[in-house]
Amino acid sequence: MKNPELTLHDLHGEALEPWLEGLGKLRIAVFREYPYLYDGTLEYEMDYLKTYVRSAESLVVIVADADNKVVGATTCLPLRDEGPEFQEPFLKAGVAVNEVCYFGESILPPHLRGQGLGKEFFARREAHAQRLGFAYTAFCAVDRPDDHPSKPSGYRPLTEFWLAQGYQKQPQMQATFIWKEIGEESESPKTLTFWMKSWKS
């Protein structure tokens, strides 16, 4: 990734605090797009992101532009520091929570995609997980049918990219999360499936 106008900051725990509002606004903007179609609020975002502030072993990589505005980010933290709804699929699968570093999200606006930041995000999070001695890294992605009415023409899922990074889909490991989707009058449940990578030799 070579863009002299961008600066990447590796932040842990409370160091994220000054960036919370910018990160929350970026999440709302990017996750409004398909496939999440998230109709979010900054109030909820600020509360959600405190999970990373409270975790001393979290890593949030902030991409800032020349004006120090948040224009990209990726997050991870020990799964033991996440909520029970994240942990339950691993416990059911017989995977110890203490062995997993959970990757929260990678968010970039369209004009910054395809420049190598996605790979850099994985590399930094994986290096962090290995430093902390985790046996697995994992993330989840929302499930949408191929014929979803909001799927844009020419949409390309990230499946091939994730496979290229060494991750395998775990169809038996799913979680249900609730959020308000664009066009919905109220929140509704959505199913997300986990992807994992083993670091065991």
Q: Indicate the fold that domain 7-198 takes in CATH.
A: Aminopeptidase (3.40.630)
**Of 13, 90, 25, which is closest to residue 53 (Cα–Cα)?**
13
Phi then psi for residue 7, to 5 deg, are -125, 135
What 3-state DSSP class applies to 194? strand
Q: Which residues contact 45 (CB under 8 A, 6 or more apart)?
A: 23, 24, 25, 27, 28
Mean per-residue pLDDT, 118-144: 98
pLDDT at 2: 64
Q: Model confidence over 73-100: pLDDT tens digits?
A: 999 999 999 999 999 999 999 999 999 9
Q: Does residue 4 carry a pLDDT above 90?
A: no
- Max CA distance (Å), the chain: 49
Q: Does residue 122 carry a pLDDT above 90?
A: yes
The percentage of the chain sitting over the pLDDT mark of 90, rounded to a whole number, equals 96
Q: Model confidence over 7-58: pLDDT tens digits?
A: 999 999 999 999 999 999 999 999 999 999 999 999 999 999 999 999 999 9
Give pTM, 2 decimals.
0.95
Mean per-residue pLDDT, 169-174: 98
Domain assignments of the chain as residue spans, ordered by start: 7-198
How many CB atoms neighbour CB 192 within 10 A?
Answer: 18
